[in-house]
Structures are given as structure tokens and as C-alpha cells.
Amino acid sequence: MKKYIVLLASSLLLFSCREYLDVVPKGYIIPTSVADYELLLIGGDGGPNFTRNEEILHLTNDNFYLSSNEVGNVNNNLNTNFALYSWSNFRFSDPTLSNSAWNDAYKNIYTFNKIINEIDAATLEVGDTEEARLKVKAQALYGRAYEYLFLVNTFCKQYTKASAGTDYGVPLVLKADVTQTLPSRGTVAEVYTQIIGDLQLALPNLPAKAKILVLPSSGSGYALLARTYLYQSDYENAKKYAELALEKKSQIVDYTQPDFSNFTLSMKNNEQYAIHYMSQPGNGYLSADAMELFPEDGTMDKRLFEQFIENPIIEAGEVIGFQYLMGSYDYEFKGTTSTSVPEMMITLAESQARLGNAGAAIAIVNDIRNNRIEGNVEVSEADFPTPNSLLKFILEERRREMIYSNTRLFDLKRQNLEPAFAKTTLHKIEGKNPLSFTAQANSNQLVIPIPAQVLKFNPGMPQNQ
């Protein structure tokens, strides 16, 4: 019996520029030129087909508490948001419901595969060049790697060298063929090998500057590789590629300047290598331990003021939450999955510290904090009597700097592998009838189950245990 990829066929209809392409047969787009494939890459709604709908990651990390208004009908495991937020065993257990984190990623992978598989044979029309062919293919390879990095970190156990070769991965679909037999889940190690291979193949042909900021450049490729190697605890390579990314782009915004009172999206975007924002806004409170990262000791950490605004959400006269801004298209919280200059700086600092280069690590952290904290007092090696005390400070600085990144769950999973940094995660539902839930370090609560709809169409696929 054949197994099929759920909803992949519709990926050909996702972009608004289809009127510029021949449609044969009706409903299907048949790109023939390099320019056609670039339109396919760019997609609709003003941006390329990169997964942006990461509410799952927002609802399962430790940075936010949500109100009952945001979570919806509480104590109902069939409510998707509540099941996610409470780490319920019933997450995505309804086979009639689709799951955007899985389906959208594989739709996008279909599109990227179509470009990768076919663009070598595409015709060159007026304005097309061989250089453009290589660039579009490289950007599609980046896109496929990006999607698989999020899939493997969302639906699989954290990469560890000891077990990555046996831990279940996600199906590696590498051809644009909706009738193909869906591959097995394979292993986490195999998925990472594919991600790194795609990025290494893409790098020579990624442009120094992309046509639009939502498309990847060479800096984006280096940055995504640095992130990938960090998730593997390969600190030598994380260091190498973070440094290469910073050679391409190293601008960091100085929040402490007097004229920085009007924070804008364009200012934050200047730090991004390529922009990928969550498509749906979220409301909530910073969690108690996230707030503790910003001590009220007289320092002015502008990340509390310049990365978001607070608009009270009022229900029946009661303040139940706030809306946060971090580089969104409007004034609501929209998590970002973009790689950025600050992420590369803190990745480099962590890698240096783990490789025994404390002085270099501290210099980088001081540079970040000088641009974020008014009147910052720089730290020195004397402030950290042990390697773990320095690492703890750097990991906390990473969380401060990336407080609105939807990659926090991935950091949480990798840090839980180390007893010194493992934590039990607490979620609260604020409001008139407050509730709380916990997820133990290294438990499968932090591994999102394969959606029941996927298992329904693929009954032989193993579920996460």
C-alpha cells in the first residue's frame, strides 16, 4: 500500500503571480523559464514560501504566560491551543484537523523540490542568465534546509551525537512528486546531514545581497549553518559559520542612543539576514523567569522597552494581557524565526566559551550589552569563577536578546541535555481562574507529536513515544 504526502498537491497554487505563467492542465502551473522558477520561489503575499506559522513554538516555550482569552476554551484537550500550552498527550490527536507546522512545511518543500529538480532544464528567456539559474536553485536549497531544520527540531528529539543515528527523524522528501511513496521517518542524524548538505551546496551561489530581504543571501546561508551546528553542539563549526555570517553583515542597532525613542520595524530589520515572521500575532505576558532576566537594579535594558510596546488587553474591566511588538508588520507580537546579527554574535560568544576562549566570549557579550543597556557596566573574567557560570550568563543573554524568537523551544531542548542548565518549564494561564502546568526537562512533552492526520494517511509511521 502506498503512503502519500498530505496536502502537497495544493502547493502549486500558493502564489499570486500564476497569471504570468502558462497553466496546463487547468489548475496547475507549468514553469518553463528561469524567471518562472524565480516567481515560484518568491511566492505570493509579498514573500517566499518559507514557513511562518510557528504558533506551536510560541505556545510551547518558556517565555510567555497566556491568558484564558488567548488560550481559548481551557481544560478541553480538543482545543489545540490549550493542548499545546498544557503539553497535553492529546496534542494534534484529531485526525480530521490539519497541522500547519507539518503541512505547510511539506508544501513549501514540494515547491523548493520542484525548483531544485527542474530548474537545470529551464529555458533562458530575455533577461535570464546562468547566474540567475544558479542563484534561484541555491535559494531553493536554502529554503528546503530551513524547513527541515524546523521540522526536525519541532517533531523530533534534540540532536545528541550518541542517539541521533537511532532517534526518529522526519521523512526526507527530495522530489516534487505527490504520488511518490512517503519515505520513512529515518533518523535525526540523516535529517541534519541533508540540511547541512543543502546549505553547503547552496552557499557558492547565494547572492551577496538578495533581491528582497525575505529571500536568502550568502549571509543567510552562513547564519543558518551556524544555527544548525549549534543545535548539534558542534561548536567549532558554529563558531566558523557565525564568523563568516558576521563578515557579511555585522550591524547591530544601538538602543541606547537618545534619538532611538521611536523604534521602528525597519531599524530591527537592519539586523536580519533574511526576514521570516510568524503569520499570526499572539498576546500574553512575559513569564516570571523571563522577567527575572531583566533585573530592576537601576540599569536600563532597552530590550524591555524598544523591542516591544505594551497595549493593555481589557476584558470586563480587567487587564488580562498585553500585546508585544518585536519587528512585526503591525503592533502585535509576531515571533520571528529570522537569523540575525545579534543571534550570530551570541552564538559566537557561546561557541568561544565552550571552546575555552572566555576572554573572546566576554568581549562579544559586552559589545551586545553596550548596545542594549543604558550605562552598561562591562563584565570581566573575574566575574565568572567557573566555566559554567560564564556559560549560564551567556545562555541567559541569548534568551534576553532572542526573547521574541520562536526558536526558544529549540534552545530549551538543547540546554536541557546539560544537568547544569536543565529546567522544569512552567506555564500559567492568568485570569480569574488561573491554572498552571509543567514540562519536565528532557521529557517528550517538549517533542511535538506527529499529527494524527499524518498518521491516518501513513499508518506505518511511528509516533513519538
Which pLDDT score is estimated for 21?
30
H or E stretch covering 135: helix 130-155
Which pLDDT score is estimated for 461?
94
Which pLDDT score is estimated for 182?
83
Calculate the alpha carbon distances from 180 to 1, 15, 54, 172, 185 in Å: 12, 23, 27, 12, 15
Which pLDDT score is estimated for 335?
62
- As a whole number of angstroms, the distance between CA 17 and CA 451 comes to 31
Which pLDDT score is estimated for 256?
86
- As a whole number of angstroms, the distance between CA 196 and CA 218 comes to 14
Spatial contact of 149 and 227, defined as CB atoms under 8 Å apart: yes
Sort strands 64-67 and 425-430 into parallel, antiparallel or unpaired.
parallel
What 8-state DSSP symbol labels residue 175? S
Q: What is the pTM of this model?
A: 0.87
Enumerate residue ranges in the chain where pLDDT < 50.
1-27, 46, 308-333
To the nearest 10 degrees (0 to 180), the angle between helices 130-155 and 34-42 is 30
Spatial contact of 119 and 34, defined as CB atoms under 8 Å apart: yes
Those residues whose C-beta lies under 8 Å from the C-beta of residue 144, and which sit 6 or more positions away, are 109, 112, 113, 116, 198
All structural domains of the chain, each given as residue ranges with its CATH number in brackets, are 9-217+443-457 (1.25.40)
H or E stretch covering 66: strand 64-67
- As a whole number of angstroms, the distance between CA 297 and CA 451 comes to 45
Q: Quick count: other Cβ atoms within 10 Å of Cβ 109?
A: 28
pLDDT tens column, 208-237: 999 888 899 999 999 999 999 999 999 999
- 301 forms beta bridges with 373
Cβ-in-10-Å burial (0-12, 13-18, 19+) of 160 comes to middle
